[in-house]
Amino acid sequence: MTAAIVPPYLLARIASVQEPGWARAAHAARSTLAIAHEWHSPRSRLRLSIDEGGSLIAETAPAPRREISDAQSREILPGVVVRTEQSPVSSDVTVNDAFDRLGATFDFFWDAFARNGLDGVGSNLLATVHYGREYDNAFYNGERMVFGDGDGEIFVGFAHSLSVVAHELSHGVVDTEGGLNYEGQSGALNESISDVFGTLAEQHARGHQTERASWLVGEGIFSEHVEGHALRSLSAPGSAYDDDVLGRDPQPAHMRDFVVTASDNGGVHINSGIPNHAFYLTAMALGGHAWERAGLIWYRTLTAHTLAPSADFATFAAATLTAAAAEYGENSEEAAAVHSGWVGVGVMNDEPTAD
């Protein structure tokens, strides 16, 4: 299922607004909700060559291969190619922003985890900008990143936010590594891992350590008319926005407030606040650059190939503790921080166990 950055419940709320001053935003939200997207299975592309001795070698050079297309306000993909690695800078700011943020996401995964692209073997990073008219979302369809321009009243464009770009591309990393079912707790984990990597990519690009980081997903995509900072907050789930039109951020930060709902695929965008906050607590306990230890533990957990697609919060928490123990030792500061983080959100009990 296509994973988009703006939750359907938020778009539905905007679509229901009756006030004349928000007519454009309401129409854009209804149009956005009405568009169905085709999912493409992740592609893997290994670059092979022959050396001077005739041996076949696999090349995984740490350089992105980006291709930006322009949908020209239509809902047809991929659109017209407008920038590649060989192209000059475009006169279109959105094209350049998408190009640069794809590159920053690539740099983050390479520098932090020595991962060469979404699939780990350097496949192209594909993106389409100017999708639809006043399209209020950004999504990854299993093949490419797609950006709407927003309605101008509530959303002001999605390609400008690195955390949004990295979040959506991180869905590709999750899928390549075996995937997590996009429903219930496994779906919330899918969203959470993408939020974690999205915020880490932004911190990496800015050189921010834990204390200085904003811990926001989607900062800057709201217009000045919205009372809110971003779509989600890892440091304080439930506080990202509180607006007359959007309502209040519904994310819980603790299992006692877990939202049981059939909408949003069982609350995948809502309940992701719980594992999001567990990561934040872990990262803050360790300090420094969050991608170096806390992020590495989450990455090792995802890429260990021990998670079932239906993994719930407790299963994932135990797997992160196992990854921390394997990387740093069972009695390490890192393992203790991971355990404390999950205790802090009510997923783990006080007694640590590493399986």
Nearest alpha carbon to residue 37 among 171, 144, 195: 144
Instruction: Look at 53 and 111; give whichever has higher pLDDT.
Output: 111
- Pick the catalytic residue from 229, 269, 289, 339: 269
The whole-number pLDDT of residue 57 equals 54
Q: What is the mean pLDDT of residues 260-283?
A: 96
Spatial separation of the C-alpha atoms in residues 128 and 212, rounded to whole Å: 32
Whether residue 353 lies inside any domain: the answer is no
Q: What is the mean pLDDT of residues 30-38?
A: 64
pLDDT digits 0-9 by tens, 214-236: 999 999 999 999 999 999 999 99
The whole-number pLDDT of residue 355 equals 45
Spatial separation of the C-alpha atoms in residues 129 and 141, rounded to whole Å: 14
Whether residue 352 lies inside any domain: the answer is no
Whether residue 221 lies inside any domain: the answer is yes
The overall average pLDDT reported for the chain is 89
pLDDT at 47 exceeding the cut of 50: no
In the block, tokens 């640590």 appear at 352
pLDDT at 60 exceeding the cut of 70: no
Tell me whether residue 191 is one of the annotated catalytic residues.
no
pLDDT digits 0-9 by tens, 121-147: 888 999 999 999 999 999 988 889 999
Whether residue 120 lies inside any domain: the answer is yes
pLDDT at 11 exceeding the cut of 80: no
SS3 13: helix
pLDDT digits 0-9 by tens, 186-214: 999 999 999 999 999 999 999 999 999 99
Q: pTM here?
A: 0.84
Whether residue 194 lies inside any domain: the answer is yes
Spatial separation of the C-alpha atoms in residues 272 and 234, rounded to whole Å: 9
> Can you read off the two tokens belonging to residue 336?
């203790």
Provide the pLDDT confidence category of residue 303 given band limits of 50, 70 and 90. very high
Whether residue 275 lies inside any domain: the answer is yes
Query: Considering its fold, how many domains does the chain have in total?
Result: 1
Q: What is the mean pLDDT of residues 139-161?
A: 91
CATH of the domain at 317: 1.10.390.10
Side chain identity at 230, as an amino acid letter? A
What is the β-pairing status of strands 216-217 and 125-129? unpaired
Q: Confirm if 112 and 200 have CB atoms less than 8 A apart.
A: yes
Q: Confirm if 214 and 200 have CB atoms less than 8 A apart.
A: no
Containing structural domain, residue 46: 3-344
Instruction: Look at 60 and 76; give whichever has higher pLDDT.
Output: 76
pLDDT at 59 exceeding the cut of 60: no
Whether residue 210 lies inside any domain: the answer is yes
Q: What is the mean pLDDT of residues 80-87?
A: 95
The whole-number pLDDT of residue 56 equals 55
The whole-number pLDDT of residue 142 equals 84
Spatial separation of the C-alpha atoms in residues 195 and 9, rounded to whole Å: 18
Whether residue 263 lies inside any domain: the answer is yes
- Pick the catalytic residue from 168, 191, 202, 219: 168
The whole-number pLDDT of residue 41 equals 45
Helices (H), 218-329: 264-267, 273-286, 294-303, 313-328
Instruction: Look at 266 and 34; give whichever has higher pLDDT.
Output: 266
Q: Confirm if 248 and 306 have CB atoms less than 8 A apart.
A: no
Q: Confirm if 156 and 222 have CB atoms less than 8 A apart.
A: yes
Tell me whether residue 339 is one of the annotated catalytic residues.
no
